[in-house]
Structure 1
């Protein structure tokens, strides 16, 4: 096996957390408000618990073969053809995630910043830095996540400044319609928590593997703190009747913020948030190229990455998506993401544990 470029604990945490926050940050207040009302912020705690359980299963699974990815683990315990099938499935899954990220980012840019620019032109501009970073693997992606986090530290202070016009009574009474809307809305926390599946490929690169589970818990906690903060701010700023109407309440709230040196804060926010957006498609495109190279068995990963970048660009040139298609893909990813990052690792863990217990596990 080729030598792995190490990833520090901080990079490990930030890769997962920025992947989760990247796209879902803009939509989570709206989605939770539409399905659970102003009690939607409680669903975030349930999402954190679900992600914590999945994190435990993933870490326990990867400990069976700590220096290999999920593909090599499947090949060892199930077989070569199973590994090929898994490569194809993971390739398709992360390609869909990358496509969804490009689609949402380009639609937001076109709506708020560059309405006259074609979407495929915007995607082309986003693909160029994607290739430059993703071709160097997880170590470069980890360093990029650190830079993005530092560049984004000013954003929370902007949102906190809106609390001067907050109406905290909008949150009362709690459980307006009972427990059912809160419990039934947990399915809408699957998409915002997608990213824990990165550990299936990232685990071998981690320097201190024994701290993988605490790092995942920290990462999920940071993500949920960000979700909880922006959700509560939107809920106390917009009335209960307004919050579900706005398509992008996280951006719309910035229209009320005024500074003497900046006229439109939302423009600056979107421009900077493009760095955060990229934290979903850069790791996804790298994993697409990695799974593609593993599936085909020939060619370097960077060549596969170049091919898939061209495929993404051609797809946006031939098909112009809208916010409706974006919402449809998001709902689809709730189901697919649950299977890929929550159910699949648990099933593979159960299978491997049974084989190990019966003493039939062996190296291929």
Structure 2
């Protein structure tokens, strides 16, 4: 399909999916869960995770049914080529739009905690250029880099959470089972979209060396992210409590601020937290960027996606500096997701699945006729 790119293994695809899901949302997730369901947010997370696993399984089933086919080719086969062009453009807007908001939030957070006197634009531009460079190298390099990063990243995160528990109050997790069932059910869509990122499987599925195992990728990745989110939520609540968590923009960073290392040989643990987070955000941006470039190449009829790696930069740069405050960024991100995420993650795969089932039914009828 793409002669200048190699395949990725199932484990690499799982790792890419995990790192794409864990990015910006991890900073604000505990606060948003408190707003949705109070201290019962852990239940909302479980239900949302189960819903995301079910949706990701259908994504994997689509890839499994069209081994070696790209997302655009699958759209063309199932929904006709004219519709494939429209939905392909729609997906590009979604991928690059989400990346723009990730970049903007990254720039504002770095300015707030590390470089207060530096304009966000001077923080955003370097990471965009580095992302474009990695995108030029293709899916194989992305897969290998994800595997290299995931282990030390996970180790540092677990250590930081362990150190934060020194100041924990388990009673802050109470009360439980106090939120009305209807309110929890209404919060499930929010929790489901806290796992956004697993849909990159649809775009990268054609590169998998074992597409028959594609149905495993999303569920495995979401399971590990769900464990991380539960650990994150519990740690923040036990350290800060629900009332304080609800009033903070980035409660995760506030939690790690409470860490005091034995001997006090490191004054500011926040630097380590931000370093880990920068790597995580970078590995969230690149798959979205690469997915957008691959689709642009296919829609244009090109053969090498690397020629398109710089093309979206002006679009991303303009969107990433559009909003003036972090509150505006999150508000715009919510509206943008409402108009795009539901379509890319739910509606388009559902349409492909229905068309696929109809095709299979017709084939069976032709055989029996």
Please report the TM-score for the alignment, with normalisation by the length of structure 1.
Answer: 0.93
Partner of 2:308: 304
Q: Compare 11-20 and 326-335 and name the one that shifted more.
A: 326-335
Task: Please give the alpha-carbon distance, in whole angstroms, between the structure 2 residues aligned to 1:360 and 1:132.
Answer: 47
Partner of 1:128: 129
Contact 2:92 2:292 in 1 (8 A): yes
Q: Given the alignment of the two structures, is residue 207 of structure 1 paired with residue 209 of structure 2, yes or no?
A: yes
Query: CA 1:185 to 1:77, structure 2 compared with 1: closer, same or farther past 3 Å?
Result: closer
Partner of 2:232: 230
What residue ranges of structure 2 are gaps of 5+ in the alignment? none
Instruction: Give the one of 318, 327, 331 matched to 1:328.
Output: 331
Task: Please give the alpha-carbon distance, in whole angstroms, between the structure 1 residues aligned to 2:336 and 2:221.
Answer: 21
Task: Please give the alpha-carbon distance, in whole angstroms, between the structure 2 residues aligned to 1:235 and 1:155.
Answer: 17
Alpha-carbon displacement from aligned partner over 1:241-273 (angstroms, at most 9, x marks no partner):
111001101001111112322111112211231
Task: Please give the alpha-carbon distance, in whole angstroms, between the structure 1 residues aligned to 2:160 and 2:320.
Answer: 33
Q: Compare 200-209 and 29-38 and name the one that shifted more.
A: 200-209
Partner of 2:114: 113
Query: CA 1:192 to 1:179, structure 2 compared with 1: closer, same or farther past 3 Å?
Result: same
Task: Please give the alpha-carbon distance, in whole angstroms, between the structure 1 residues aligned to 2:79 and 2:320.
Answer: 37
Task: Please give the alpha-carbon distance, in whole angstroms, between the structure 1 residues aligned to 2:332 and 2:126.
Answer: 23
Partner of 2:158: 156
Task: Please give the alpha-carbon distance, in whole angstroms, between the structure 1 residues aligned to 2:44 and 2:147.
Answer: 28
Task: Please give the alpha-carbon distance, in whole angstroms, between the structure 1 residues aligned to 2:172 and 2:149.
Answer: 33
After TM superposition, the structure 1 = structure 2 runs for residues 278-317 of structure 1, keeping only pairs within 5 Å, are: 278-298=282-302, 300-316=304-320
What residue ranges of structure 1 are gaps of 5+ in the alignment? none
Secondary structure at the residue paired with 1:68? Answer: coil
Q: Compare 304-313 and 107-116 and name the one that shifted more.
A: 304-313
- How far 1:323 moved relative to its partner? 0.7
Contact 1:24 1:191 in 2 (8 A): no
Partner of 1:137: 138
Task: Please give the alpha-carbon distance, in whole angstroms, between the structure 2 residues aligned to 1:217 and 1:262.
Answer: 39
Task: Please give the alpha-carbon distance, in whole angstroms, between the structure 2 residues aligned to 1:326 and 1:196.
Answer: 22
Q: Compare 261-270 and 229-238 and name the one that shifted more.
A: 261-270
Please report the TM-score for the alignment, with normalisation by the length of structure 2.
Answer: 0.92
Query: CA 1:314 to 1:174, structure 2 compared with 1: closer, same or farther past 3 Å?
Result: closer
Task: Please give the alpha-carbon distance, in whole angstroms, between the structure 2 residues aligned to 1:207 and 1:316.
Answer: 35
Task: Please give the alpha-carbon distance, in whole angstroms, between the structure 2 residues aligned to 1:10 and 1:316.
Answer: 32
Task: Please give the alpha-carbon distance, in whole angstroms, between the structure 1 residues aligned to 2:265 and 2:6.
Answer: 43
Instruction: Give the one of 262, 269, 273 matched to 2:266.
Output: 262
Contact 1:191 1:330 in 2 (8 A): no
Task: Please give the alpha-carbon distance, in whole angstroms, between the structure 2 residues aligned to 1:312 and 1:233.
Answer: 34
Partner of 1:16: 17
- How far 1:356 moved relative to its partner? 2.7
After TM superposition, the structure 1 = structure 2 runs for residues 54-133 of structure 1, keeping only pairs within 5 Å, are: 54-133=55-134
Contact 1:58 1:346 in 2 (8 A): no
Contact 1:191 1:333 in 2 (8 A): no
- How far 1:231 moved relative to its partner? 0.3
Q: Compare 208-217 and 265-274 and name the one that shifted more.
A: 208-217
Alpha-carbon displacement from aligned partner over 1:77-96 (angstroms, at most 9, x marks no partner):
33221221122111101011
Secondary structure at the residue paired with 1:258? Answer: coil
CA RMSD of aligned residues (A): 2.0
Secondary structure at the residue paired with 2:65? Answer: coil
- How far 1:314 moved relative to its partner? 4.6
Q: Given the alignment of the two structures, is residue 39 of structure 1 paired with residue 40 of structure 2, yes or no?
A: yes
- How far 1:291 moved relative to its partner? 1.5
- How far 1:283 moved relative to its partner? 0.9
Task: Please give the alpha-carbon distance, in whole angstroms, between the structure 1 residues aligned to 2:302 and 2:215.
Answer: 34
Task: Please give the alpha-carbon distance, in whole angstroms, between the structure 1 residues aligned to 2:161 and 2:177.
Answer: 26
Contact 1:190 1:337 in 2 (8 A): no
Task: Please give the alpha-carbon distance, in whole angstroms, between the structure 1 residues aligned to 2:37 and 2:333.
Answer: 18
